[in-house]
A = this chain, B = another copy of it.
Amino acid sequence: MNADDFILLREEAKNHLVNELLPFWLTRMQDDVNGGFITHFDKDGNDTGEDEKSLIAQTRCLYTLSSAHHAGYGDGDLADLAKHGFEFMINKMWDHEYGGFFWMLDRKGKVKIDQKIIYGHSFAIYSLSEYTLATGDPRGQEYAGKVFNLIQQFGSDTMYGGYREMFHRNWMLCGPGSQGGDRKTLDVHMHLMEAFTTLYECTGEDVHRRKLLEVIDLLNNHIIHPVYKTGIPQFCKDWTVAPQIKFDIIWGWDRFSEEGMKGNATDNTCYGHNVEFVWLFIHALEVLNIDPISYSSLFKTILDHTVENGIDYEYGGVYVEGPHSGGVYDREKEFWQQAEVLIGLLDGIIMFDDQKYGDAYKNVHRFVFDKVINKGIGEWYPLISRRGDPIWTHMGNSWKTNYHTVRSMIQSIKRIDKILSLK
Contact = CB atoms under 8 A, between A and B. Distances in A.
Contacts of A158: 152, 156-157, 161-163, 211, 214-215, 218
A386 B207 CA distance: 47
B152 A157 contact: no
A206 B153 contact: no
Given A156-B158, A161-B158, A173 B206 contact: yes
A237 to B, nearest CB: 10
A159 interface: yes
Contacts of A159: 161, 214-215, 217-218, 221
A202 B8 CA distance: 67
Most chain B beta carbons < 10 A, residue from A152, A159, A162: A159
Interface string A155-172: 011111111000000111
A177 to B, nearest CB: 18
Given A172-B206, A206-B171, A206-B172, A152 B161 contact: no
A156 B156 contact: yes
Given A171-B206, A206-B171, A206-B172, A157 B161 contact: yes
Interface string A126-158: 000000000000000000000011001110111
Contact of A153 (B160, B171, B207): B207
A221 B237 CA distance: 15
B207 A171 contact: yes
Contacts of A218: 158-159
Contacts of A170: 206
Contacts of A156: 152, 156, 158
Contact of A157 (B148, B149, B214): B214
A214 B173 CA distance: 14
A156 B162 CA distance: 10
A112 interface: no
A210 interface: yes
Contacts of A172: 206-207
A152 B217 CA distance: 19
Nearest to A154: B207
Interface in A217-245: 217-218, 221
9 contacts: A149-B149, A154-B207, A158-B214, A158-B215, A159-B214, A159-B218, A159-B221, A170-B206, A173-B206
Interface of A: 148-149, 152-154, 156-163, 170-173, 206-207, 210-211, 214-215, 217-218, 221
> Nearest 9 A-B pairs (CB), nearest first?
A159-B214, A156-B156, A172-B206, A152-B153, A159-B217, A158-B214, A161-B161, A149-B153, A152-B152
Given A149-B149, A160-B161, 8 more contacts: A152-B153, A152-B158, A157-B158, A158-B162, A159-B217, A159-B221, A171-B206, A172-B206
